[in-house]
Structure 1
Amino acid sequence: MADNKSVAQRSASSVDAIKKMEKELYREALMRDYDLKRGSKYPPMSIEPFPYERQRLSGNYTDADRALRKQWLQDQILTDREPVHVERWMRRNIFRRIWNAPFDALDRALTRTGLPLSATYGIRFALPKLVAGLAAIYALCLHLKVAPRTWETGVGMVVTQANAVTRMSVPGTAEWERFQNGEFYRSKESFDDLGFSKRSAMRDETLLTSAAGPQMNGTVNQ
């Protein structure tokens, strides 16, 4: 029984060793395939025939070479259908297609004018972001102008600027003198009332907004 168990253990260990060896061989094969397909190890090669003027002015520049270069120059002219955009390769949802439609049309128009590829790519890359940024700034300014936070709504953003409260910390100003004399905090400028002092309703001078209650005809209800 012990011999059978030892044989089974040796068989299991042998199977594990074989599986481990197969994994290592498979990994090495994957790495070799990756190293083979990751790109050329040599610098890019230009296929332009006779790119230098010195070559074209030499005595060895034949009519066949001239025709070859003429054909190559004609091949560089893009047609109306180029560059070709493969829809299955550039998958976009409906919202991105609607947003990118005018910018893609502008990019194709600029490409057909003969501008350098770097210039058209820069315009295509920066223009959507510029438009989106300007739209966001315009929406923010419009919101601040149309729907600011007031004492009635209580919601929204508040824009503050340098007022008397800020200037009271600057020595030599009128607000500084009023602050030193103890007169500043008795002024309405000390509070950001969110437009309450400019209200058009409840302007009765006898109206009190404190805990003393409303004042009618010069008397205070107790």
Structure 2
Amino acid sequence: MAQTAGVKPMSIAGRVVHERERCIGMTDAERAWRKQWLKDQILAPNEPVHVEEYWKERTNPIRRFYRKPLDVLFNKLTPMLGQERAQVYRYLTGKMILLGFGVLATTYYFKYNGNDWTKKGGWRILRTKPTVLPGQPGYPFKSTKTDSDYAERGFKSSPI
């Protein structure tokens, strides 16, 4: 769903949000309104306020569960690192852990679930012949495979 639920967003700044409009001329009421509007844009010293209950209501319990270990760690590190740096490090640490799990899962899958003659599924990895250009040693490249080597899918090297 769109952020405004299909309704065109309305600017609360009014006509005088653009400098060109203000230069055309403003009434005293518009000047007072603009002055108050600019004052309202200044945050209080204690803002933004983090309300724990609001965050709990808005986030999924599963998400809170898997975020908890890094949240605890970086809440302890925040006084040493500072709020902004701790948030950046927490974000990057989470992403690096996910990337590491992804690399390990991919490595495991390709190592133990390859396509060979014993099973139907799995990724089939083919090696292409090397590129050998004129003037390089081994040109022209001639394969050492025999007819029975093609499409054997590991059958010849099987311990059976």
Normalised TM-score (structure 1) = 0.45
Aligned equivalents of 2:67 and 2:74: distance in 1? 10
Give the match's secondary structure for 2:53: coil
Aligned to 2:113: 147
State which of 133, 146, 153 in structure 2 corresponds to 1:194.
153
| Cα RMSD, aligned residues only | 3.6
Amino acid at match of 2:146: S
Structure 1 residue runs of 4 or more that deviate by more than 6 Å after TM superposition = none
Aligned equivalents of 2:108 and 2:119: distance in 1? 17
Determine which structure has greater relative contact order: mean sequence separation of CA pairs < 8 Å that are 6+ residues apart, divided by chain length: 2
State which of 115, 129, 138 in structure 1 corresponds to 2:104.
138
TM-fit CA distance, 1:85: 4.8
Name which one, 1 or 2, has greater alpha-carbon Rg: 1
Deviations 1:134-160 (A, max 9, x none): 101101101111221112212112334
1:166 and 2:130 correspond: yes
Aligned equivalents of 2:38 and 2:137: distance in 1? 73
Aligned to 1:125: 91
1:157 and 2:123 correspond: yes
Aligned to 1:176: 140
1:98 and 2:98 correspond: no
- Flag the 1:141–1:126 CA change in 2: closer, same or farther, 3 A: same
Aligned to 2:75: 108
1:41 and 2:27 correspond: no
Give the match's secondary structure for 1:198: coil
How many residue pairs match? The answer is: 125
- Flag the 1:40–1:187 CA change in 2: closer, same or farther, 3 A: farther
TM-fit CA distance, 1:188: 5.7
Give the match's secondary structure for 1:197: coil
- Flag the 1:121–1:186 CA change in 2: closer, same or farther, 3 A: closer
Amino acid at match of 2:156: S
Return 5+ residue gaps in structure 1 as ranges.
1-30, 48-82, 202-222
- Flag the 1:89–1:189 CA change in 2: closer, same or farther, 3 A: same
Moved more, 116-125 or 131-140: 116-125
TM-fit CA distance, 1:84: 5.4
Amino acid at match of 2:61: I
